[in-house]
Amino acid sequence: MPTLLTVFAKEFLENLRDRRTLLSALLFGPLFGPLLFGLMVSQMLKQSVVESDVPLRVTISGGHYAPGLIRYLEGRGVKLTHKELSENEARAAVRSGGSQVVLLVPPEYPKLFVEARPAPILLFADSADSQTRKIADRAKGMLGAYGSTIAQLRLEMRGVSPLLSIPVAVNEVDIATPAGRAVVVLGFMTYFVLFALLMGGLYLAIDSTAGERERGSLEALLSLPVARSALVGGKILATCAYMCISLALSLTAFVCVFRFVPLERIGMSANLSAGTALIFFGICLPFVPLGATLMTLVASFTRTYREAQTYLTSVLLVPTLPIAFASIYSLKTKSSLMIIPSLSQHLLMTSVLKDEPILLRDVLVSAVASLGLAMLLFVLTARHWRRETMLG
């Protein structure tokens, strides 16, 4: 059996028996992302339910001054609580959280209203609280609608067409497809996929280099009549194998999560069938050897398990950088960006999620760029392994 395969088989078997590797490669890495993602989405669902389905609750003071307004609000399903409060009491009620939004109708309201002069209404809300801000916005919207209804009635009574008061009619056309809207949320997903991919090989990369040195088995291994490049190649190959398993598990978990999370309810159609997951696997596959060689190279320079762990945690962040840039500058899939590993995988997966067509050429460029960089890193790794300093 060639050296490469012997080393691969041994590393694969040894780590299959190691609980730490198994936990990180087969449990933590692949499941962490989908679970967090599921939680995030269901939280968003809960919030959107608050917005539209739950009736608006408002505390009103001095309601008897504005019977027309009360009828209008009740007619739109607003749950009103009548309570007589002074201005300061209203302020305190909102601050203490006893009421989320308080409407205060002052005594001069009826007189001004009848005279067709602006009649004041005070709306108390805490704009620093994102939850009550939404409720206040809804209340404001309703008050505005009531105001324009009254305004139109007044104009009509005076023989003026209400249309005169609407010089411009703005129609907003939202061109985002449901899948496109989902992308904001799904952008996280591509990162979780790449994270799971790296996590799968993290401990093996450490164990087969710094771990081997710390255990004291490295020198015996280096004294064997075999090429060092084959030794480290076999180790990287085993790391790749675990990364592929982790990637596959992670994608499977995502497909399951998507089946249970009703994304359509927040106006998103998630495009993650088993077929899409397979395409994702294909897109990410060239990133596997790149991640494996990068982690092995970094771990080869360290002396202990702990040291390697410290450095590799930073390596885990490396693929997030391009993705972070992409979302800050809202980069679109472009052929020229396909030469940047991790960014190209992110963009390609995002395009697939958005139901956009992807070019085969882009997929190839992305793969070749990742594999090319992996080759370069492998040459550097093999060169480092031939050095005397490898002994430590």
Partner 1 sequence: MIEAMGLNKRFGSIEAARDVSFVARDGEITGLLGANGAGKSTCLRMLYGVLTPDSGKACIDGIDIRGETSKARAHLGVLPHAAGLYNNLTARENIRYFGTLHGMEPKLLLARTAELSLALGMDGFIERRAKGFSQGQRIKVALARALVHDPGNVVLDEPTNGLDVMAIRNLREMLLALKAQGRCVLFSSHVMQEVAALCDRVVIIGHGRVLADATVQEIRERSGTPTLEEAFLQVLGGTEGVS
Give the three-state DSSP class for 210.
helix
Is 3 a binding residue for partner 1 by CB under 8 A? The answer is yes
The closest alpha carbon to 260, from 29, 47, 53, 42, belongs to 42
Residues 6+ apart with CB under 8 A from 278: none
Q: Which of 215, 265, 334, 383 binds partner 1 (CB under 8 A)?
A: 215
Q: How many CB atoms lie within 10 A of CB 157?
A: 9
Q: Which of 128, 220, 328, 360 binds partner 1 (CB under 8 A)?
A: 220
State how far the Cα of 70 lies from the Cα of 79, in Å rounded to an integer: 10
State how far the Cα of 192 lies from the Cα of 361, in Å rounded to an integer: 25
Size of the site for partner 1 (CB under 8 A): 24
Check if the beta carbon of residue 299 is closer than 8 Å to that of residue 209. Answer: yes
Stretch that binds partner 1, among 46-54, 147-155, 214-222, 282-290 (CB under 8 A): 214-222
Q: How far is the CB of 284 from partner 1 (least distance, A)?
A: 28
| Residue pointed to by tokens 């960006």 | 337
CA 4 to chain centre: 39
Q: Which of 23, 49, 116, 224 binds partner 1 (CB under 8 A)?
A: 224
Q: How far is the CB of 242 from partner 1 (least distance, A)?
A: 14
Is 88 a binding residue for partner 1 by CB under 8 A? The answer is no
Residues 6+ apart with CB under 8 A from 128: none
Closer by beta carbon to partner 1, 160 or else 391? 391
Is 223 a binding residue for partner 1 by CB under 8 A? The answer is yes
Closer by beta carbon to partner 1, 2 or else 67? 2
Is 314 a binding residue for partner 1 by CB under 8 A? The answer is no
Is 302 a binding residue for partner 1 by CB under 8 A? The answer is no
Q: How far is the CB of 211 from partner 1 (least distance, A)?
A: 10
Q: How far is the CB of 4 from partner 1 (least distance, A)?
A: 11
State how far the Cα of 180 lies from the Cα of 32, in Å rounded to an integer: 25
Q: Which of 167, 225, 260, 357 binds partner 1 (CB under 8 A)?
A: 225
Is 217 a binding residue for partner 1 by CB under 8 A? The answer is yes
Closer by beta carbon to partner 1, 2 or else 282? 2
Q: How far is the CB of 247 from partner 1 (least distance, A)?
A: 24
Handedness of CA 218, 9, 196, 357 (dihedral sign): positive
Kind and range of the H or E element at 59? strand 57-61
Check if the beta carbon of residue 345 is closer than 8 Å to that of residue 194. Answer: yes
Q: Which of 216, 260, 330, 336 binds partner 1 (CB under 8 A)?
A: 216
Residues forming a β-bridge with 123:
103
| Residue pointed to by tokens 């997929």 | 363
Q: Which of 6, 152, 229, 320 binds partner 1 (CB under 8 A)?
A: 6
Q: How far is the CB of 13 from partner 1 (least distance, A)?
A: 7
Is 23 a binding residue for partner 1 by CB under 8 A? The answer is no
Q: How far is the CB of 302 from partner 1 (least distance, A)?
A: 16
Q: How far is the CB of 27 from partner 1 (least distance, A)?
A: 18
State how far the Cα of 101 lies from the Cα of 85, in Å rounded to an integer: 13
- What are the angstrom distances between the C-alpha of 154 and each of 147, 148, 163, 270? 11, 10, 12, 49
Is 391 a binding residue for partner 1 by CB under 8 A? The answer is yes
Stretch that binds partner 1, among 62-70, 76-84, 152-160, 212-220 (CB under 8 A): 212-220
Is 304 a binding residue for partner 1 by CB under 8 A? The answer is no
State how far the Cα of 377 lies from the Cα of 372, in Å rounded to an integer: 9
Q: Which of 31, 123, 226, 365 binds partner 1 (CB under 8 A)?
A: 226
Q: How far is the CB of 214 from partner 1 (least distance, A)?
A: 8
The closest alpha carbon to 232, from 286, 285, 292, 291, belongs to 292
State how far the Cα of 368 lies from the Cα of 285, in Å rounded to an integer: 11
Q: How far is the CB of 235 from partner 1 (least distance, A)?
A: 13
Check if the beta carbon of residue 247 is closer than 8 Å to that of residue 287. Answer: no
Q: Using CB under 8 A as the criterion, which residues of the chain lie in contact with partner 1 when the complex forms?
A: 1, 3, 6-7, 10, 13-15, 17-18, 215-226, 388, 391
